[in-house]
């Protein structure tokens, strides 16, 4: 077992949802203390187990760097993530097999 997010601090996630498969965890979270905007909409973060149950989890980064809402994630075969994305102003069903990264 491993903590995916610290309780406080810059890497803490304000989680609202979680979905898992064999070796991946996807967490939906709201950015903390952000003004209402696309950037403050829910985002999806991916993690992979580092191996032994007592090793810390490794953050793979955001599923998508899109600035709009990312919600209702599900993990399908091979760790591929399917979610609803509202970046374009309408809601689209989107899928991705790998994480987008840090999105700086």
Give the pLDDT confidence of 46-96 residue by residue, as tens digits: 888 655 445 555 778 889 988 889 999 998 877 789 999 998 888 999 999
pTM: 0.80
Token pair in block for residue 28: 């939906």
Q: What is the CB neighbour count within 10 angstroms for residue 41?
A: 19
On whether the CB atoms of residues 8 and 61 are closer than 8 A, the answer is no
Q: Buried b / exposed e across 17-38, counting CB within 10 Å, b at 16+?
A: eebeeeebbbbbbeeeeeeeee
């Amino acid at each position: 077992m491993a903590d995916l997010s610290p309780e406080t601090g810059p890497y803490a996630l304000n989680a609202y949802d979680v979905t898992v498969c064999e070796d991946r965890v996807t967490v939906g979270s709201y950015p903390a203390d952000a003004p209402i905007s696309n950037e403050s909409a829910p985002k999806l973060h991916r993690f992979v187990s580092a191996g032994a149950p007592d090793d810390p989890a490794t953050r793979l980064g955001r599923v998508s760097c899109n600035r709009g809402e990312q919600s209702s994630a599900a993990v399908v075969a091979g760790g591929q993530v399917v979610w609803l994305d509202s970046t374009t102003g309408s809601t689209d069903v989107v899928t991705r097999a790998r994480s987008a990264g840090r999105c700086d």
